[in-house]
Structure 1
Amino acid sequence: MNEVKKLKVPVKSIAGAVVTAIALFGSVYTVNEGHIGIVKRFSEAKEQVNPGLHFKMPFIDSVEEIEVRTRKNEEKMASSTKEQMPVTVIVSVNWTVDKSAALDLFRQYGGLSQFESRILDPRFRSATKDVIPKYDAEQLIQDRASAIQAIEVNFIEEMKDFPVSVDNIQIENIQLPSKYLTSIETKQTEKNLAAAEKHKLARQNLEAQRAVNTAKAQADGIELVAIAEAKAIKLKGLAEAEAITAKAKALGDNPLIVKLTEAQNWDGKLPATMLGGQNMPILDMRNK
C-alpha cells in the first residue's frame, strides 16, 4: 500500500505539469505575415490582430486567419459577341481585402471562401457577361484593353459597398470558333497590307516633296547669286560713272590739269616732225 501511495504522488504531479504545459502552449499563438488574425471566443469573433506573436485564453479562445495579400480569382464563362458569335472567355481579377475591415468581413460572411462564393465571384461573372456582348469578335481580339476597362468599371461599381479593393482585371484567353478566327486573321492581314501600302505611298510623297524642296532651294540660291552679281555690276558701273563725272568736272574747272596730265604722261622724247603754218613745209626735227 505504501508503495502504491508513493506512486500516486508523482502521477498527479506529472498530470498537473502536463495540464499546465498545455495551458501555457495553448495561450500562445502567431499570425502569419500577409494575414489578419480573427480571435474567436466560444466561436464568436471578438477582435482582429496583426501578424506576429500573441496570447489568448487557452481552451476558450481560438484564432482564424484571413489573408490580406492580393488574391487572384479566375472565371471561365461562355457568352456571345455583338454579332451573336459564340465565345468562351477566361477572365481573372486581382483583389485585396481591406485590412481594417477584416473583422467585419469575417462576421458577415464567415471567411474568405464564403465571401468569394457568395459575393465576389457572382458579381465578377455578371460584370463580364454584361460587357462581352457589346463587342464584336474582331474588337475583342484586337482591342482587348477596351473590354478589360469596361469590365473593370462595372465590377468596381458592383464591389463599392464591400471592404475590398479591385487591383486589376485581365482577359486571359478568348476562344472563338476556328472558322471565325480564320476570317479575322485574313481580314487583319488585308488591313496590314493596306496599312503598309499607305505607309509606302506616304513615304514616296515625302521623298517627292523633299526633292521639290531641294530643287526650289537650289533655284532660289541661283537666283540670289544672280541678283547679287547684277547688283555688284550695277554698283561698279555707278562708281565708274561717278568717277568719270568727277574727273570731267575737275578738268572743266581747272584746264591746267590737262597740261599736268600730259606732262605726267610724256616719255621724254621730242616729236620727230612738226607741222608748219600756212605754206611752211613739214620740218624733220631728227638729228642727221
Structure 2
Amino acid sequence: MIGYVLLPIFIVLALIILFSGIFTVRQQSSAVLERFGKFMSIRNSGLHFKIPIIDQIAGRINLKVQQLDVLVETKTKDDVFVKLKISVQFQVIKTNVYDAFYKLESPHDQITSYVFDVVRAEVPKMKLDDVFERKDDIAVAVKRELNQAMSDYGYDIIKTLVTDIDPDAQVKSAMNRINAAEREKVAAEYVAEAERIKIVAKARAEAESKRLQGQGIADQRREIARGLEESVDVLNKVGINSQEASALIVVTQHYDTLQAIGEETNTNLILLPNSPQAGSDMLNNMIASFTASNQIGEAMREKNEKAGMVRKPRKKDDNRDKDI
C-alpha cells in the first residue's frame, strides 16, 4: 500500500532531476559550466546536458557587440573645462570566454577607468579648438590603450568614438559670439565688395557717358563751325566782309535763341544783361546789325536793278528783229 503511494512521488522526482540536467544556450552567448564549484566546460548555443545537482551553470556570457558611454570632464591646455562623451564598442572574444568570465569582475568599470585615464592624459595637451579638430586622435588613443589592457581579459575593443564635446556654458556663449562676429565681418566684407563693384561700375558708366557727351559736343561744335563757315562764305559773296558777317551771325543766333525760349509756354527763364554797359552794348550791336542788314539789302537791290537794266535792251532788240 505504501509502495503504491511512494511510486508516483519517485517518478515525479526522477522527472524533475532528469529535466534539470537539460539546458539550452541562446545564440551569440556562452554558458560556463562548473562541477562542485570548479570550472568544467564552456557550452555554446544549442541544447546541452549536465549531471543534475553535480554540474551547475556558473554564468552566461554575452558575445554580442556592446556599447558603453562614458562621460569625462577634464580641462584643456587653455584652462577651459569641457565634458567629453566617449562611446566604446566592445565584444567578448569567443575563444577567450574563460578569461572574460573569471579574470574580470566588472568590465564596464574597468573600461570606464581606462577611458578616464586616457582622456585626462590627452585633452590637457590641447587647446579647446584643437579638441574639436582632433577628436579622432583622442578616440584612436583611447582605443589603443583599451585594446592593450582589455585583450588580456578576453575583450576586443571594436571602436571608440567621441560623440559629444560640451564646453562650459560661458565658454560656449563666448564661442558663439566670436562665431557670430566672424560671420558679420565676412558679411560686411561681402557688402563692401558689392558696394565697391557698384561704385566702379557707376564710375565707368559715368566716364563712358561723359566721353560720349564730349564726343557729341565736339561733333556739334564741329557742325556749328562748318555752318558758320558756310554762312560767312555766302555773306562774303554778297559783299560783306568776314567781321561784319560774324557780327551778323552772332546777332541772328542771339535772336533765334530768344525766339526759341519765347516759344516755350511753360518756361520761367528770363534773359537780362548782367552789367550796366550791357544795355548800350546790345543797342550798339542791334544798330550795327540793322546797318549791316540795310547794306545787304541795298547791295542786293542795286545788283537786281543792274541785272534788270541789262536784260531790257536785249528784249527790245529781239522785238525789233521780229517786226522786221
Moved over 4 A (4+): 189-198
Displacement of 1:13 after TM fit?
0.7
**Given that residues 76 and 91 in structure 1 are in contact (C-alpha distance below 8 angstroms), is that contact kept between their aligned partners in structure 2?**
yes
Q: Point out where structure 1 has 5 or more consecutive residues left out of the alignment.
A: 1-5, 202-288
Which structure has the larger Rg over C-alpha atoms?
Answer: 2
Residue 98 of structure 2: aligned partner: 103
Percent identity for Structure 1 against Structure 2: 19
Deviations 1:173-229 (A, max 9, x none): 22222221122233345566778979xx9xxxxxxxxxxxxxxxxxxxxxxxxxxxx
Give the structure-1-normalised TM-score.
Answer: 0.59
Residue 75 of structure 1: aligned partner: 70
Displacement of 1:141 after TM fit?
3.2
* DSSP-derived class of the 1:84 partner: coil
Displacement of 1:36 after TM fit?
0.9
* DSSP-derived class of the 1:57 partner: coil
* DSSP-derived class of the 1:159 partner: helix
* DSSP-derived class of the 2:91 partner: strand
**Given that residues 30 and 45 in structure 2 are in contact (C-alpha distance below 8 angstroms), is that contact kept between their aligned partners in structure 1?**
yes
AA in 2 matched with 1:100: T
Q: Alpha carbons of 1:35 and 1:160: their partners in 2 closer, same or farther (altered >3 Å)? A: closer
Deviations 1:2-57 (A, max 9, x none): xxxx2x22321111111111111111000111111111111222211111110000
Q: Alpha carbons of 1:33 and 1:23: their partners in 2 closer, same or farther (altered >3 Å)? A: same
Residue 116 of structure 1: aligned partner: 108
Correspondent of 1:27 among 21, 30, 37: 21
CA distance in structure 1 between the aligned counterparts of 2:137 and 2:182, rounded to whole angstroms: 20
CA distance in structure 2 between the aligned counterparts of 1:195 and 1:96, rounded to whole angstroms: 49
Correspondent of 2:39 among 40, 45, 48: 45
Q: Alpha carbons of 1:77 and 1:189: their partners in 2 closer, same or farther (altered >3 Å)? A: same
* DSSP-derived class of the 2:152 partner: coil
CA distance in structure 1 between the aligned counterparts of 2:130 and 2:136, rounded to whole angstroms: 10
**How many residues were matched structurally?**
190
**Given that residues 32 and 52 in structure 1 are in contact (C-alpha distance below 8 angstroms), is that contact kept between their aligned partners in structure 2?**
yes
Residue 138 of structure 1: aligned partner: 129
Residue 17 of structure 1: aligned partner: 11
Residue 166 of structure 1: aligned partner: 157
Q: Alpha carbons of 1:158 and 1:103: their partners in 2 closer, same or farther (altered >3 Å)? A: closer
CA distance in structure 2 between the aligned counterparts of 1:105 and 1:120, rounded to whole angstroms: 13
Deviations 1:119-171 (A, max 9, x none): 33322221222222122222223443333223223333333433211111122
Q: Alpha carbons of 1:134 and 1:192: their partners in 2 closer, same or farther (altered >3 Å)? A: farther
Correspondent of 1:90 among 85, 88, 113: 85
* DSSP-derived class of the 2:101 partner: helix
CA distance in structure 1 between the aligned counterparts of 2:73 and 2:83, rounded to whole angstroms: 4
Give the structure-2-normalised TM-score.
Answer: 0.53
AA in 2 matched with 1:178: A
CA distance in structure 2 between the aligned counterparts of 1:23 and 1:34, rounded to whole angstroms: 28
* DSSP-derived class of the 2:171 partner: helix
Q: Alpha carbons of 1:195 and 1:71: their partners in 2 closer, same or farther (altered >3 Å)? A: farther
CA distance in structure 2 between the aligned counterparts of 1:62 and 1:140, rounded to whole angstroms: 50
Residue 220 of structure 2: aligned partner: none
Q: Point out where structure 2 has 5 or more consecutive residues left out of the alignment.
A: 194-324
**Given that residues 45 and 103 in structure 1 are in contact (C-alpha distance below 8 angstroms), is that contact kept between their aligned partners in structure 2?**
no
Q: Alpha carbons of 1:10 and 1:161: their partners in 2 closer, same or farther (altered >3 Å)? A: same
